[in-house]
A and B are shown apart, each in its own frame.
Chain A
Amino acid sequence: MEPVRRVADPLSAAQRAHALPLLACLDQLSHDGVAAFDRQGRCFHWNGAMERLSGVARGRAVGQDVRVLCASLAITVELDALSSGMSARQLPFSGAKKGFCDLSAAPLALDGNVYGGVCLLRDVTEQVETRQQIAETESRFRNMADASPVLLWMSGADGLCTFFNRTWLEFTGRSLDQEIGIGWAEGVHFQDFQSCMDSYLAAFARRERFAIEYRLRRHDGEYRWIFDQGVPRYAPDGSFAGYIGSCVDITDRRRLAEDLQQQVRGRDEFISIAAHELRTPLMPMRIAVDLLVQLTDGTDNDLRARVEMLDQAVARQTETIEALLDLSRINAGLTANDLEPFDLDEVVREVVTRFDRRSAPVVMTVSTRSPGSWDRSKVERVVSNLVTNGVKYGDGRPVEVAVEDHGPRVHVVVRDHGIGIAPEDQERIFQRFERAVSVTSFSGFGLGLWIARSLVESMGGAIRVQSAVGEGSTFTVDLPRSTESGA
């Protein structure tokens, strides 16, 4: 090593007169620690920032070896490195303060003579910690995203995708590089591609949430139905930053729904055919018996008695078939309302007219014009079931039917004066296959009131009963004037 020529004080008095105030001024302004040292490493300048960072006062620092001073900040450096110039970033330091610093040093030279060096210590703790926090947040997000069972993606403000989680990449069997940008769209089924892109871009332009379904190729080549929900995301300053999306494989769910739909369609079709086939032969039976009733009217012999037997048998058969069809439709969930406008009073009167039976008179007591919108065949079935019930348990006394207008609601009231229902039975009678009395005294399925209630409820209405044993029962159907279509 070349012997060092020591320069004790290379500055003239004039130079010093300029340099010292400049140094003092910079000292005050600087947030960076500044230390100057001579060729032996002895410190001859130690600014305020250095004092604050290291906790070593200027008085104690001056004259100290700069390496010792650095050690007081827990920084190890060679004098050679300091003297010849260096730069180190994000060094951990620990003095009066703990953190990270950028350390740089440059030689002090005058007229080609190196007589020491200056080192500058910039506290970058905040930046480093912020960066670490961001990195941690980022890595936490990625861990979460990768551990998620759903397929996640993210796009920038330009619509191009910038991120796919591991679940996505494992699903498609492709690399992030392949998927990024618009690479992912290569996996979308060509039949769904256009609609998928249209919805995505339309939502993107309006910055709205979207939810789309499309088929995406899985790693094994099978196209799976994906439900993809995208939500716009915004930067902290409120500017639009793109989208974040999550997808789930809904292939199995769709298949189940399709199967179910097909089953419902199949059941619907079967019940329709069954209804047609069961009702059609009842028609000639009914008309033929009615003709026989007319022909034998006024006679009182065996033939008349047989005709009445037939008449009742056909009526009972008809009622049973209708009950079974209602039961099948309700059980199959086929309770959608087929709405049409009509006068409720008129339809109730029509149904009542059909009960011109010898067993018990059925009369309309109150009648109010009640226009509205309902499912006509349901209304007919409800009234028919209630009147049948009234006739059956009415003890031969008249069954009274009334239609009452209550503004937004309409009531159909069916009152009998028969055996009545005990309070404890009044809820039970609306259950399937239930009746308040024993099977041996009254025939039938015990379905009528259950059907009535199911149909009334499917039209958004309610059915109530008031009754006392021995005094008869009053059933009130409370219907909204207009039923929502659909279900």
Chain B
Amino acid sequence: MVTAVDVLVVEDDRDVQRCIVAGLEAHGFRVAVTANGAAAVEWLAAHPAPRMIMLDWFMPVMTGEQFLEVQLANPSWSRIPVVVLSASPKRLSVGRQLKFLRKPISLRELVDVVNAHVGS
């Protein structure tokens, strides 16, 4: 039986992936990782919905923005909360109100934002 993860991390940078996973796992969260939007869509199709998604913005294959479109169009995914985590200097022109965090964030900020969405 497959249990739902707490956080699906969508991030192309290997080092950033690893640090988020390490930070969150150290605080008891279950984490899955995909390298871009398209991989995240595949992952979602094959797994129970995660309790939240942590989304990078600039990624190859499918960007964060494109992923959001696909996610919102699918009724079984559209209600999964999304937090955008990007190194972009500009605020992102996203259609809906999203929590936006700019890299780098501290471990505490990371844990706080996940706790806020996932609860303990």
Footprint of B on A, CB under 8 Å? 271-272, 275-277, 279-288, 290-291, 294, 318, 325, 329, 338, 340, 354, 356, 375-377
> Can you add 16 more A-B contacts, CB < 8 Å, to A283-B16, A284-B16, A377-B91?
A272-B88, A275-B89, A276-B87, A279-B103, A280-B13, A282-B104, A283-B103, A284-B19, A285-B104, A286-B105, A286-B107, A325-B89, A340-B91, A354-B106, A356-B108, A375-B91
For window 31-52 of B, CB contacts with A under 8 Å fall at none
Q: Whole-angstrom distance from the CB of B105 to the nearest CB of chain A?
A: 7
Also in contact, A286 and B106, with CB within 8 A (given A275-B88, A276-B58, A291-B22): yes
Also in contact, A286 and B90, with CB within 8 A (given A280-B16, A291-B23, A294-B26): no
Q: Closest residue of chain B to A356, judged by CB?
A: B108
Cross-chain pairs A/B with CB under 8 angstroms, 22 sampled:
A272-B90, A279-B102, A279-B104, A280-B13, A282-B103, A283-B15, A283-B87, A283-B105, A284-B16, A284-B19, A286-B104, A287-B19, A287-B20, A287-B23, A288-B22, A290-B23, A291-B107, A294-B107, A338-B90, A338-B91, A354-B106, A356-B108
Also in contact, A290 and B106, with CB within 8 A (given A272-B90, A281-B15): yes
Q: Does B69 contact A (CB under 8 A)?
A: no
A287: contacting residue among B58, B89, B107, CB under 8 A: B107
Q: Closest residue of chain B to A326, judged by CB?
A: B89
Name the residue in A276, A340, A354, A356 with the highest tally of chain B Cβ atoms < 10 Å from its Cβ: A276
> Which residues on B sit within 8 Å (CB–CB) of A375?
91
> Which residues on B sit within 8 Å (CB–CB) of A287?
19-20, 22-23, 104, 106-107, 110
Also in contact, A354 and B109, with CB within 8 A (given A294-B26, A318-B104): yes
Q: Does B18 contact A (CB under 8 A)?
A: yes
Q: Whole-angstrom distance from the CB of B94 to the nearest CB of chain A?
A: 10
Instruction: Determine if A275 and B23 form an interchain contact, defined as CB atoms under 8 angstroms apart.
Output: no
Q: Closest residue of chain A to B24, judged by CB?
A: A287
- Return the 8 tightest CB-CB contacts between A and B, nearest first: A290-B107, A287-B19, A284-B19, A282-B104, A279-B87, A275-B89, A283-B104, A284-B15
- What separation, in Å, do the CA atoms of A425 and B16 have in the docked complex? 43
Q: Whole-angstrom distance from the CB of A379 to the nearest CB of chain B?
A: 11
Q: Whole-angstrom distance from the CB of A331 to the nearest CB of chain B?
A: 14
- What separation, in Å, do the CA atoms of A288 and B23 have in the docked complex? 8
Instruction: Determine if B88 and A276 form an interchain contact, defined as CB atoms under 8 angstroms apart.
Output: yes
For window 77-110 of B, CB contacts with A under 8 Å fall at 87-91, 102-110
Instruction: Determine if A288 and B19 form an interchain contact, defined as CB atoms under 8 angstroms apart.
Output: yes
A275: contacting residue among B87, B91, B107, CB under 8 A: B87
> Which residues on B sit within 8 Å (CB–CB) of A340?
91
> Which residues on B sit within 8 Å (CB–CB) of A318?
104
Q: Whole-angstrom distance from the CB of B20 to the nearest CB of chain A?
A: 7
Also in contact, A290 and B87, with CB within 8 A (given A279-B103, A283-B16): no
> Which residues on A sit within 8 Å (CB–CB) of B110?
287
Q: Closest residue of chain B to A318, judged by CB?
A: B104
Q: Closest residue of chain B to A342, judged by CB?
A: B97
Q: Whole-angstrom distance from the CB of B33 to the nearest CB of chain A?
A: 14
- What separation, in Å, do the CA atoms of A272 and B13 have in the docked complex? 17
B108: contacting residue among A282, A290, A325, A329, CB under 8 A: A290
- What separation, in Å, do the CA atoms of A71 and B108 have in the docked complex? 116
> Which residues on B sit within 8 Å (CB–CB) of A294?
26, 107
- What separation, in Å, do the CA atoms of A376 and B89 have in the docked complex? 11
- What separation, in Å, do the CA atoms of A285 and B18 have in the docked complex? 11
- What separation, in Å, do the CA atoms of A252 and B102 have in the docked complex? 41
Q: Whole-angstrom distance from the CB of A412 to the nearest CB of chain B?
A: 19
Instruction: Determine if B89 and A271 form an interchain contact, defined as CB atoms under 8 angstroms apart.
Output: yes
Q: Whole-angstrom distance from the CB of A338 to the nearest CB of chain B?
A: 5
> Which residues on A sit within 8 Å (CB–CB) of B22?
287-288, 291
> Which residues on B sit within 8 Å (CB–CB) of A276?
58, 87-89
Q: Whole-angstrom distance from the CB of B54 to the nearest CB of chain A?
A: 12
Instruction: Determine if A376 and B87 form an interchain contact, defined as CB atoms under 8 angstroms apart.
Output: no
> Which residues on A sit within 8 Å (CB–CB) of B103?
279-280, 282-283
Q: Whole-angstrom distance from the CB of B98 to the nearest CB of chain A?
A: 11
Q: Whole-angstrom distance from the CB of A9 to the nearest CB of chain B?
A: 111
Name the residue in A283, A286, A290 with the highest tally of chain B Cβ atoms < 10 Å from its Cβ: A283
- What separation, in Å, do the CA atoms of A288 and B22 have in the docked complex? 8
> Which residues on B sit within 8 Å (CB–CB) of A356?
108
> Which residues on B sit within 8 Å (CB–CB) of A281?
15
Q: Whole-angstrom distance from the CB of A181 to the nearest CB of chain B?
A: 50
Q: Whole-angstrom distance from the CB of A265 to the nearest CB of chain B?
A: 13
Instruction: Determine if A377 and B16 form an interchain contact, defined as CB atoms under 8 angstroms apart.
Output: no
> Which residues on A sit within 8 Å (CB–CB) of B23?
287, 290-291
Q: Whole-angstrom distance from the CB of A374 to the nearest CB of chain B?
A: 11
- What separation, in Å, do the CA atoms of A453 and B108 have in the docked complex? 29
- What separation, in Å, do the CA atoms of A9 and B16 have in the docked complex? 132
